[in-house]
Chains A and B, each alone.
Chain A
């Protein structure tokens, strides 16, 4: 049933837009990181959905199956998922340090505290 047509692409665009909105419109640092994770997962969908063939099977060669779904996007997205969680771990570590240094994880409060403090280059 191919009537699903471009629906998967539009859902991908919606997820991408939601992730992007969370990153640019919310001030809380942890929520920004979660928005980034949503954005990254929409990209996974963008790559894997075109590789699917209705009536095919998973790309594991076995007797009796002649049509397989495309294995190449799977390989690329496996790498992307692991790199995504590495990025999340680093981002959360920096957030923890920011919380300990400024006492808050809201972006505007951190920027205010930074604007009033002495600069690193010696300006008061």
Chain B
């Protein structure tokens, strides 16, 4: 039953993404991207990734849509028609799709407990996290304690992006 729900949601996501590619009005594109992020958050809950789903819903569907609408207000307009039929990009995309599908045939089957992803360091995290850190949410324990350096780098990245946007968009006060 879970598999059917996941498959249905994934198909819906693919439909929204294709509609997003074909749409030309920029406002519709922004609204469709918000809908796509919400569907992504639902699929993530169905895949048991609850922390990631909350982050995707708030960041992807919330803040991204606000930023896109703000930029659209400042830039504005319809999208112009593409000048020539885009055969070369389509051909490149199809070649890449073929190569990737061939590659996925070698990946482990969905929900296989013997897959390599489950057997190296993760059993240690799941068994020892509550005892060593006292925090039941293993994702928070790994994020803040076992892999704290990565989170420090990520916080620095967020700060750098903020500093970059300030440097780009700040207006100097001029005497009028």
Contacts and interface: CB of A to CB of B under 8 A. Distances in A.
Interface of A: 1-22, 24-31, 33-35, 37-38, 41, 44-45, 48-54, 56-62, 68-75, 77-79, 81-90, 92-97, 99, 105-106, 108
B79 A28 contact: yes
Given A6-B104, A97-B168, A41 B40 contact: yes
Which of B52, B56, B168 is packed against the most chain A CB atoms within 10 Å? B52
Which of A29, A78, A96 is packed against the most chain B CB atoms within 10 Å? A78
Given A44-B52, A79-B151, 18 more contacts: A1-B1, A7-B110, A8-B6, A8-B10, A18-B14, A24-B92, A28-B80, A34-B29, A50-B107, A59-B126, A71-B125, A71-B126, A75-B143, A82-B59, A82-B158, A85-B63, A86-B162, A105-B75
Contacts, number: 270
B16 to A, nearest CB: 9
Contacts of A24: 89, 92-93
A51 B44 CA distance: 11
A99 B74 contact: yes
Chain A contact residues: helix, strand, loop or mixed? helix
B3 A2 contact: yes
A34 B105 contact: no
Contacts of A73: 49, 117
A30 B111 contact: no
A84 B154 CA distance: 11
Contact of B60 (A27, A29, A81): A81
